[in-house]
Amino acid sequence: MGFLNIEFLVASAVGLLTAAGIYLILRRRTFPVILGLSLLTYGVNIFLFATGRLMVDAPPILNKYAEVPYTDPLPQALVLTAIVISFGMTAVVVMIALAAYLSARDDKIDMPHHPEDEGEDA
């Protein structure tokens, strides 16, 4: 099976996660959109990580005793902060979704527009 290589597996996983994320983001209820954001986050994080090129068994932990290859540490540092920040983002979005649902008893993502609400300040 010629396509069974790491690069293909990672690329296909990124593609699928992205596609699933996009599809769910386009749904009309808050919860699927949050799920979609999470999937898209996985996809984006792996994408960023993979820009450092892939290596097996070469963690960027310096070895004092031997000359060994190291994988690219920079995307890892980027992705590490991205993971933590995306947790913060998810938490805020979840909170907003929950507050919106509890206040309006409705978890539709589209806001009905009422131009007449914006009364002119006399």
> Interface with another protein includes 28 (CB under 8 A)?
yes
Q: Which positions from 77 through 116 interact with another protein, judged by CB under 8 A? A: 77, 79-81, 83-92, 94-99, 101-103, 107, 109-113, 115
Q: How far apart are CA 24 and CA 74, in angstroms?
A: 30
Measured between alpha carbons, how far is residue 90 from residues 93, 100, 108 in Å?
A: 5, 15, 18
> Interface with another protein includes 68 (CB under 8 A)?
no
Nearest to 34 by CA among 44, 43, 24, 47: 24
Query: Could you tell me the two tokens for 95?
Result: 């909170």
Number of chain positions touching another protein (CB under 8 A): 93
CB of 7 to another protein, least distance (A): 5
Phi-psi region of 57 (alpha: psi -120 to 50; beta: other; left: phi over 0): left
Q: How far apart are CA 10 and CA 54, in angstroms?
A: 9
Among 31, 66, 67, 117, binds another protein (CB under 8 A): 31
> Interface with another protein includes 56 (CB under 8 A)?
yes
CB of 113 to another protein, least distance (A): 4
Among 66, 73, 116, 119, binds another protein (CB under 8 A): 73
